[in-house]
């Protein structure tokens, strides 16, 4: 039997209602009913109802864009919008636009965007995708029945507050675990071809390129002599997705055991899972002596490979040992050895200890280990940097994380552990992604 599904709308603008109606007409059995909020509240007590109206807002930098106000209507006419009141008109050609859909994005909808001439680049937020298109293509995209709103991705929204503060000479409130490399910016592009095409423009603005990774779509630039105007122009280079202050990654592993419910001695393993036959890769400070033949007894005979990664080029202006590499040993904090033990230490060293109920071992105590050491000793030129950042940092982490993962994969690892982080709390940067 056929079932009628009723879709209730409240407080929607007429453009949105018309679009919803056109969309639902494509699917037999759906009926759109505009209903007062009181009646909707009563229905919510009786049926499963979800209010998604708060998702019809797009956060672009410091601005919240109300997408109930159209930018392009069904006739293709462009309307003024409060979020763009002080933005200059765009030059002819392709630009990156925010395209918000009426709900969770479907593959079929993105195909129709492509058919209209648009190029979907990356997801954004709240049913929104970043799409590259020209003016004519944008109009064709805007009138698709499942597209709710379109508007340019503001250049200012591509500037992280940390980048603006750095260039303005303001650091803001110091957070205990947040460290930024002084006057160094990470410039993320939408694609490798965007990065390659934009490097000349970056240099022309006066920024020195410290490192560039087309595969990772990231360039690291020296911004010591940059001003606010140069930073704003940097954000307008075609293909620039985000500009952030270069964060220094720091070891972090103090809450993992509690989250996994594995604090203290591991409980009896009723599934008899030991990690046998698996290879685990760990990227961290270093592993004990760094020599697989003379290693901590909890890992003896199971270390398949250790590699140390040298200091990345973006530190070069600040140190006396560019490209320095002190090897795979855990010379400073012991953090990497601790993390490896959490994952696959077999408990040999803890056998017979008083007050311990059995050996203290990792959850995959029979797995093999691939270790990637990224902590390096930095010989700072400026004593103030030594005091602020310390002598040992995770300065060997490649700006293209694909290098790390590919190396580990080639050595047989299919699990990769990274107990480190950095940057502002909640900041979703290119390495998180």
What is the tens place of the pLDDT at every residue in 58-85? 988 878 888 887 777 767 677 778 778 7
Report the pLDDT averaged over residues 229-249: 91
Distance CA 127, CA 141 (A): 15
| One domain, residues 211 and 353 | no
| One domain, residues 202 and 133 | no
Domain that holds residue 221: 158-247
Q: Which segments of 238-365 does DSSP mark as H helices, in order?
A: 256-260, 335-344
Question: Considering the domain boundaries, does residue 211 fall inside one?
Answer: yes
Last residue in a domain, options 130, 154, 178 = 154
Question: Considering the domain boundaries, does residue 356 fall inside one?
Answer: yes
Asked if pLDDT for residue 148 goes beyond 80, the answer is yes
| One domain, residues 137 and 108 | yes
**What percentage of the chain has pLDDT greater than the value 70?**
82
| One domain, residues 103 and 164 | no
| One domain, residues 287 and 362 | yes
- What is the residue-averaged pLDDT of the chain? 84
| One domain, residues 15 and 80 | no
| One domain, residues 206 and 318 | no
Last residue in a domain, options 154, 184, 207 = 154
pLDDT band for 295, please (50, 70, 90 cuts): very high
Q: Which span out of 41-55, 156-170, 323-337 was modeled with the highest average pLDDT?
A: 323-337
Structural domains counted in the chain: 4
| One domain, residues 263 and 372 | yes
Question: Considering the domain boundaries, does residue 24 fall inside one?
Answer: yes
Q: What is the CATH number of the domain that holds 92?
A: 3.30.70.80
Strand ranges (E), 253-395: 279-284, 303-308, 368-373, 376-377, 392-393
Question: Considering the domain boundaries, does residue 433 fall inside one?
Answer: no
Asked if pLDDT for residue 352 goes beyond 90, the answer is no
H helix or E strand, kind and range, residue 415: strand 415-418
pLDDT tens for each residue of 363-382: 899 999 999 999 999 999 99
Distance CA 119, CA 96 (A): 9
- Residues 303 and 289 sit within 8 Å (Cβ to Cβ): no
Question: Considering the domain boundaries, does residue 183 fall inside one?
Answer: yes
Question: Considering the domain boundaries, does residue 427 fall inside one?
Answer: no
| One domain, residues 283 and 390 | yes
Q: Which DSSP string corresponds to 31-73?
A: EEEE--HHHHHHHHHHS-----GGGSEEEETTEEEETTS-SB-
| Whether this model's pTM surpasses 0.95 | no
Question: Considering the domain boundaries, does residue 275 fall inside one?
Answer: yes
Last residue in a domain, options 129, 154, 179 = 154
| One domain, residues 258 and 308 | yes
Q: What is the CATH number of the domain that holds 353?
A: 3.40.50.200
H helix or E strand, kind and range, residue 24: helix 14-24
| One domain, residues 278 and 374 | yes
pLDDT at 428: 74
Question: Considering the domain boundaries, does residue 186 fall inside one?
Answer: yes
| One domain, residues 393 and 269 | yes
């Amino acid at each position: 039997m056929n079932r009628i599904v009723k879709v209730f709308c409240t407080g929607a603008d007429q453009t949105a209602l018309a679009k919803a109606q056109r969309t639902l007409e494509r699917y037999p059995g759906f009926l759109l009913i505009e209903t007062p909020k009181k009646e909707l509240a009563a229905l919510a007590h009786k049926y499963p109802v979800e209010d998604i109206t708060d998702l019809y807002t797009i956060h672009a930098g410091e601005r919240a864009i109300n997408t109930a106000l159209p930018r392009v209507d069904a006739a293709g006419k462009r309307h003024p919008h409060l979020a763009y009141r002080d933005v200059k008109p765009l030059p002819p050609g392709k630009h990156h636009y925010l395209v918000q859909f009426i709900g969770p994005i479907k593959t079929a909808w993105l195909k129709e965007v492509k058919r209209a001439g648009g190029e979907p680049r990356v997801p954004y937020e709240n049913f929104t995708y970043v799409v590259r298109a020209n003016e004519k293509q944008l109009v064709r995209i805007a009138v698709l029945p499942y597209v709710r709103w379109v508007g340019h991705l503001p250049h200012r929204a591509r500037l992280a507050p940390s980048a603006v503060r750095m260039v303005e000479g303001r650091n803001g409130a110091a957070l205990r675990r947040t460290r930024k490399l002084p006057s160094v910016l990470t410039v993320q592009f939408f694609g490798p071809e965007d990065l390659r095409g934009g490097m000349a423009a970056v240099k022309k603005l006066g920024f020195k390129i410290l490192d560039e990774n087309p595969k990772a779509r990231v360039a690291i630039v020296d911004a010591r002599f940059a001003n606010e105007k140069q930073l704003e122009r940097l954000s307008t280079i075609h293909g620039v997705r985000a500009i952030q202050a270069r964060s220094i990654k720091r070891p972090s592993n103090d809450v993992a055991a509690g989250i996994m419910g594995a604090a203290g001695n591991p409980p009896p393993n009723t599934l008899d899972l030991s990690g046998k036959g698996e290879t685990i890769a760990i990227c961290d400070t270093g592993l004990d002596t760094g020599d697989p033949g003379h290693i901590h007894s909890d890992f003896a005979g199971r270390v398949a490979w250790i590699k140390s990664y040298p200091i990345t080029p973006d530190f070069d202006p600040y140190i006396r040992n560019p490209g320095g590499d002190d090897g795979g040993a855990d010379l400073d904090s012991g953090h990497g050895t601790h993390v490896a033990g959490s994952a696959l230490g077999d408990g040999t060293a803890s056998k017979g200890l008083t007050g311990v109920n059995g050996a203290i071992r990792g959850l995959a105590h029979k797995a093999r280990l691939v270790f990637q050491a990224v902590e390096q000793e930095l010989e700072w030129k400026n004593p103030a940097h030594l005091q602020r950042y310390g002598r040992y940092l995770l300065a060997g982490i490649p700006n293209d994380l694909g290098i790390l993962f590919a190396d580990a994969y080639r050595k047989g690892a299919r699990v990769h552990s990274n107990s480190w982080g950095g940057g502002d709390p909640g900041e979703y940067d290119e390495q998180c992604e």
